Structure 1
Amino acid sequence: MSGLYDLLRRYVDDGTVPGAVALVARGGRTETVAAGTFEFGGGSPMREDTLFRLASITKPVMAAALLTLVDEGRLALDEPVKGWLPELAAPRVVRTPDAVLDDVVPARRDVTVEDLLTFRAGHGFPEDFSLPAVRQLFGTLQKSGLDPRYTPAPDEWMDRLSRIPMVRQPGEAWLYNTASDVQGVLAARVSGQPLPEFLAERVLEPLRMTDTAFWVPADRLARLPTFYRPGAEGVPEVMDPPGGQWSGPPAFPSGAGGLVSTARDWLAFARMLLAGGTAEGRRVLSEESVRRMTTDHLTPGQRASCGLFLEGQGWGYGGSVDVERVRPWNVPGRYGWVGGSGTSAHLVPADGTVTVLLTQMAMTGPTPPALMRDFWQLAAAA
């Protein structure tokens, strides 16, 4: 694609990112470009097979893995999850979103599998991060996506979650992030396998996503760049070196944001969805699961209440679905998501387009940074 390398080079040269990899696939053509280096000021040159911390573009992969259990009949979308997650058998909900933590009422109904997939399970982040229940949730549990060292093992994590009141009633509102981590615990318990093994068996191995995992083995660490966040006075701070947090198995494999992968691997995942759930003649997901995964399930009111995260978008399973053309890149039906580590990945069922952008510079908030928006704009224009 004309200009793709130039776009990355511009943001490398102005110091926004040390390096990046971008991929655009459409029809029978795929273009992948790499620019910059593994570190600010030097290091190895960025490569097309560089490994990146995916952060929240892990979420679609997690949702697809859980849906394999629905396809097998081992779970139903309308099934209460309390049979597998007894920690959610009798949840409490704050009386109003801004209520103090002990001002609670019982949940009006059980949390279902589909509540988890649509992010309407009662736990998660609304637009206001200052709410008492949200502060406790964030401070107690939600470090796994960008720092797996400080998150407890799944059983303890669920026990802690059960002690935090929900911020909204089940089914009532879209709340970000937490439900994907609960999906991971649910999949592990239903399958009887640790989440890394389950995910590999159901999704990664059938799609030959050989570089995707919850940690990077020693023989591949040379392909993992340093991870940064913006620091004071514009000086980047190191969040994670290559031999750091992702160099060994985490206690809590995060379905919300724990995977490391490459642009090529995410393309393989996207192509499976575009093919209706098949890859190389092998069925990974049913056509119905793919359809539901890439269809918006939110009401207009629910979409309107989460504008901090969603811009002209609804939510399918594990990712957003464009429903309005708010920006030139908001193509109706476009499915995918962004990651707090500076990543994004989308597919457009209507024309088979796949776009993946991977950087190692953390986002400062839910609003996509300029590089990401310019990448989407360029891909849409082409």
Structure 2
Amino acid sequence: MATLQQLADAAVAKGVPGVVALVAQGDDVDVATAGVRAPGGAPMTLDTVVRTASVTKPILGALALAIVERGVVHPADEASRWLPELADVRVLRHPSAQLDDTVPLAQPITVQHLLTSQSGIGLVGDFSAPLMAAHAEQLGQGGDARSRPEPDELLRRVGTLPLGHQPGEGWTYNTGMDVLGVLLARATRTHLPDLLDEVLLAPLGMHDTGFALRADQVARTAAGCTRDGDDVVVTDSAQAQLDDPPVFPSGAGGLLSTAPDLLRFWRMVAAGGELDGARVLSPASVRTMRSPLATAEPGNAFLDDQAWGVGGAVDVQESQPFHALGRFGWIGSWGTAAYLYPHGTIGIWLTQLEFASPEDMGIVGDVLAEVARRDAARA
């Protein structure tokens, strides 16, 4: 059994520049920081701002369910009502097919399909599939959120590409969450950043969270880094984030945040949609969010031994030490993770080192296994 601080220190010893780790069980919060915000820079602190990458997804999922509760959209609605670009898309004969090997759409894409990542829009589990390359090259998927074009242009391009599967007949990753964000913005006639702030961030007191870095946050923002052989190099400085804000607010992976802000979000989820007297979701919506609503084909590279709820994965097997039946949350490519465990434990792990190897994934796995152990002890 290792302490959280020992795990953070071990990560830095293995080349991770800096870490913020947090485990919360009710009012008992264990925090550890280690390393620096950038090579040669200031130490990591609890209030360090990071790119959350795909840890954004559960937050977008919560926003979408809140908009459903308001009656603006309904899960059965056809997505083309707000996204006409999707009305006549084609579908690949199988997920790894060539882009021109398609069949007609068997049924319309619905809001529900987007909520559960079953629309067919997204990354398939086969990394060699032509569709994967097309999403990376044409839609800026799989990389920095700032590589995506502005929303209308992204939807135009999405409409020119085939789906990976018929709506409702499979599960695809990432791009569909970006498309869901555009749908929410169009349906509410509001920019997604403003909508998110109004519905979730402001009521929950998440004042350090947003799609673009503020000038007052630069000094405490960690630099994005990657491994270069035995070295770690900066690929995205804090100043670059300020100077080059994204033109596309990515609901799939574009939020910046801090550990305390993320803790507030996950405490809301743990409490059934309410925090400090502010209710942003109904208990029923939170149950939906955390339910295993979709599954991927066996061996899918993104969703192994897990199902998908709304914006995050749900553990349905315990094949790894970090699994716990009913655990809900997700990880991000910048070395980030946030999960709610079945007995109420919240685990948050924030670095800014891109996942580059199984060893990097193993570092996160060790931490999440310790969170799972602590949660099981509460049973």
Query: How high is the TM-score relative to the length of structure 1?
Result: 0.94
**Range moving further from structure 2, 58-67 or 125-134:** 125-134
The reply on whether 1:287 has 2:287 as its aligned counterpart is no
What's the CA shift for 1:305? Answer: 4.7
The reply on whether 1:321 has 2:317 as its aligned counterpart is no
What's the CA shift for 1:249? Answer: 3.7
Q: Is the 8 A contact 2:226 2:353 kept in 1?
A: yes
Match of 1:67 among 65, 68, 89: 65
2:185 maps to what in 1? 188
Q: What are the within-5 Å matches in structure 2 for residues 94-105 of structure 1?
A: 94-105=92-103
The reply on whether 1:377 has 2:369 as its aligned counterpart is yes
Are the structure 2 counterparts of residues 258 and 246 from structure 1 closer, same or farther at C-alpha, using a change threshold of 3 Å?
A: farther
Q: Is the 8 A contact 1:212 1:265 kept in 2?
A: yes
- The residue identity in structure 2 corresponding to 1:29 is D
Q: Is the 8 A contact 1:228 1:238 kept in 2?
A: yes
- The residue identity in structure 1 corresponding to 2:110 is T
CA distance in 2, matches of 1:335, 1:96: 29
2:5 maps to what in 1? 5
CA distance in 1, matches of 2:332, 2:59: 13
What's the CA shift for 1:182? Answer: 0.6
- The residue identity in structure 2 corresponding to 1:108 is A
The reply on whether 1:199 has 2:196 as its aligned counterpart is yes
What's the CA shift for 1:324? Answer: 0.8
Q: Is the 8 A contact 2:124 2:131 kept in 1?
A: no
Match of 1:262 among 233, 258, 262: 258
Q: Is the 8 A contact 2:184 2:192 kept in 1?
A: yes
1:339 maps to what in 2? 332
CA distance in 2, matches of 1:365, 1:104: 34
User: Gaps spanning 5+ residues in structure 2: where?
Assistant: 375-379
Q: CA RMSD in A?
A: 1.8
Q: Is the 8 A contact 1:215 1:248 kept in 2?
A: no
CA distance in 1, matches of 2:22, 2:9: 14
Q: Is the 8 A contact 1:273 1:290 kept in 2?
A: yes
Q: Is the 8 A contact 2:293 2:309 kept in 1?
A: yes
1:24 maps to what in 2? 23
Q: Is the 8 A contact 1:69 1:75 kept in 2?
A: yes
User: Gaps spanning 5+ residues in structure 1: where?
Assistant: none
2:377 maps to what in 1? none
Q: What are the within-5 Å matches in structure 2 for residues 213-362 of structure 1?
A: 213-231=210-228, 233-247=229-243, 249-299=245-295, 302=296, 304-306=298-300, 308-348=301-341, 350-362=342-354
2:117 maps to what in 1? 119
Query: How high is the TM-score relative to the length of structure 2?
Result: 0.94
User: Percent identity at matched positions?
Assistant: 42
Q: Is the 8 A contact 1:145 1:257 kept in 2?
A: no
CA distance in 2, matches of 1:324, 1:179: 25
CA distance in 2, matches of 1:145, 1:193: 26
Alignment length, in residue pairs? 374
Segments of 4+ in structure 1 off by > 6 A?
365-368
What's the CA shift for 1:239? Answer: 1.6
What's the CA shift for 1:50? Answer: 0.3
What's the CA shift for 1:367? Answer: 8.7
1:363 maps to what in 2? 355
Are the structure 2 counterparts of residues 11 and 99 from structure 1 closer, same or farther at C-alpha, using a change threshold of 3 Å?
A: closer
What's the CA shift for 1:253? Answer: 0.6
Indicate the SS of the match to 2:199.
Answer: helix
